[in-house]
Amino acid sequence: MSVLPFDDRDGTIWFDGKLVPWRDARLHVLTHGLHYASCVFEGERAYEGQIFKMTEHNERLVKSAEILGFEIPYSVAEIDAACLQTLQAMKLKDAYVRPVAWRGSEMMGVAAQHNKIHLAIAVWEWPSYFSPELLEKGIRLCWSKWKRPSPETAPTNSKAAGLYMICTLSKHEAERTGYADALMLDYRGQVAECTGANVFLVIDGEIHTPTPDCFLDGITRRTAMELARRRGIKVVERAIWPDDLKKASEIFITGTAAEVTPVGEIGDLKFTVGAITRQMRTDYAAEVRKPARRQSAAE
């Protein structure tokens, strides 16, 4: 499949306060964020010209930067406005929105207290993360050999670039062996998440999901839980062990890119795309298109 490289596209990117031509949005090879992972980001999605839970995402962006010890030189309101400005400039209605902030290149070394903090926002078209065929029968997951670290060893409540290194390794290995994604355990051996999505189990008509104490409490995750409770479905947050998967009749994952995606297989375990998963997919698709729930580039 031919894919346009991300550094050679038409359009504009918001970069440090202004829109610049897409191909000119560049940084130096000795940027601290590249060498030492002093970088945070968000993944947001626009539906029909409006960005779902944009402010909530951008509040998390600012908080993630604070956790990594730096301050983004723009307010949440300014970041919101920049996201909408970029979406409008790209003339897209259904799109992916990527704000990213990082330490620059003034100092090179572990310490970089005086480096300039940069912020950029890119917007591009992004269709469904998985094909319609996979969504109908459920994706196949393998087990990752990498584990989510303890909060005592990494800033696990931030959406920091460095935390995704093991996700890339896990996803690549999954795809090499014919799977769509990998399911990760945490440092205790409990079920954590996939490489970029939270996981839910349907057990006896209830929805069970791991407690996010060493990985991100996803915004899509929280939305799914809210939607389930509106339906009167009990949602249980708890420690989930690999053996608990054998009790589940359905499993689905959630994320900005994945939305609500059913799982058909994890290792040698098989699951059906059942009524609760289908209802969650339908409800989420309706929720992201509610005008009151989105924020518009026309505002």
To the query of whether residue 63 is one of the catalytic residues in this protein, the response is no
Cβ-defined contacts of 166-171 (< 8 Å, 24+) = 167/195, 167/196, 168/195, 170/144, 170/145, 170/146, 170/195, 171/195, 171/196
Rounded to whole angstroms, the Cα distance separating 77 from 272 reads 43
* Residue 265: strand pairing partners: 140, 270
Q: For strand 250-255 and strand 235-238, is the pairing parallel, antiparallel, or unpaired?
A: unpaired
Which position among 137, 159, 234, 290 bears the catalytic label? 159
What are the φ and ψ backbone dihedral angles of 241, each rounded to 5 degrees? -105, 155
Q: How many residues are given for the chain?
A: 299
CA 207 from centre of chain:
21
- What Rg, from alpha-carbon coordinates, does the chain have? 19
Beta carbons of 256 and 220 less than 8 angstroms apart: yes
Beta carbons of 244 and 185 less than 8 angstroms apart: no
Contacts (Cβ under 8 Å, ≥6 apart) of 3: none
Rounded to whole angstroms, the Cα distance separating 65 from 51 reads 21
- Does residue 217 sit in helix, strand or coil? coil
- Strands (E) in 166-284, as ranges, are 181-186, 191-194, 198-203, 206-210, 235-238, 250-255, 259-266, 269-270
User: Catalytic residue numbers?
Assistant: 159
